[in-house]
Amino acid sequence: MTRFVLSRVASLVGVLLVLTLAVFFIQSRLPADPVRLLVGRNATPEVVAATRARLGLDEPFPVQYVHFLDRLLHGDAGTSLRTRNPVAADVLQYLPATVELVLVAAVMAVLGGLLLGLLSSRGGIWSGLVRLVTVAGSSSATFLVAIVAILVLYRNLGWFPAGGRSSEYSSSRPTGLLLVDTLLGGDLGGFLDAVHHVLLPAAVLAVGSTVAIGRTLRGSLRRTAQTEFVRSAQAKGFTWWQVSRRHALRNSTNPALSMAGLQVGMLFSGSIVVELVFSWPGVGGYLAKSIGSSDFPAITGVVLVLGAAYVAVNFVVDLLQLAVDPRLRSAR
């Protein structure tokens, strides 16, 4: 098992290196000149040349990449051309909101996928209804679901707020995660207000992942239902729920866990659209503004953070698969 974990750590580092190389290569091949954007259009050629030399942009590509990696390892992702602040500081300011949104959406997606998978594998009328829901959910674009949710649940019914993170948001909280900070501070009213604001955008974000996890779990449960030990349990008179809980579910979780890892990682990229629609103060809005102003250091910083989050989530899923399935541990 230790050897497996070390191999996964090595793979994690390798993927992150490839990610940084790809991002840096794309950034270096963009038509816009970052030096000109930094110093302004009216800067003299001497100022442009001096700035280029100061930033090391006049050196060969391999040397620039090594310097880029060195800066990243020291927490320096450059300076935003739009805010004039360090990119790392900007990302750390907006990242907690995105992490909180993704975590709530991930919990919803896993629980919803588990429910969909179990119900659809049972057969009968439940299977037909669940399949109808999954087809509708998988064919709906995230931005369309978000707009319909706002029109119905906010404008017509008034059940949820249209956007924002809370009624009295403060960025000076300890962790930046409102659900955690309000609980730690004993602020029950603030906690309920934060829950009220996060539920709708998180549910919209979780729709596609819920469907993907549910369909994967359904297929795995159907295959497991054909095995001898499940048929033996059914022959002994156990109910469908008892057979699913005691025998089928645990032996069917590996494919669903793999899909959950992919989907939770993709939630970080999907959150960008949801944040824009719901005015959620996360890295999605920061990235959108950075793209509009050709702020390449900020774009690079956000892409690297989201990519690293995706890789880290899948690494955690690999470890969870080892913990859930003893056969994998014995195979290592």
Using the predicted structure, report yes or no on whether residue 290 has a pLDDT greater than 70.
Answer: yes
**Model-level pTM?**
0.80
> What integer best gives the mean pLDDT of the chain?
78
Q: For 277-296, what is the mean pLDDT?
A: 84
* Residues with Cβ within 8 Å of residue 173, at least 6 apart in sequence: 181
142-185 confidence digits (pLDDT tens): 778 888 888 888 888 888 888 888 777 555 567 778 888 888 88
Higher-pLDDT residue of 292, 274: 274
According to the model, what pLDDT value does residue 276 have?
Answer: 87
The residue to which tokens 């866990």 are assigned: 257
Overall average pLDDT of the 314-330 stretch:
68
Per-residue pLDDT tens over the stretch 190-237: 888 888 889 999 998 988 888 888 888 887 777 776 666 666 666 666
**Mean pLDDT calculated for residue range 40-47:** 72
| All CATH 1.10.3720.10 domain ranges in the chain, comma separated | 87-280
134 or 107, higher pLDDT:
107
Among 98-102, 243-247, 284-288, the range scoring the smallest mean pLDDT is 243-247
Where does the pLDDT of residue 245 fall: very low under 50, low under 70, confident under 90, or very high at 90 and above?
Answer: low
- Domain 87-280: give its CATH superfamily: MetI-like (1.10.3720.10)
Q: Using an 8 Å Cβ cutoff, are 177 and 81 in contact? A: no
Q: At residue 29, does pLDDT exceed 70? A: yes
pLDDT of 244 reads 66
Q: Taking CA 17 as the corner, what is the angle to CA 16 and CA 18, rounded to the nearest 5 degrees?
A: 90
Residue 120, pLDDT > 90, answer no
- Percent of the residues in the chain that have a pLDDT greater than 70, as a whole number: 77
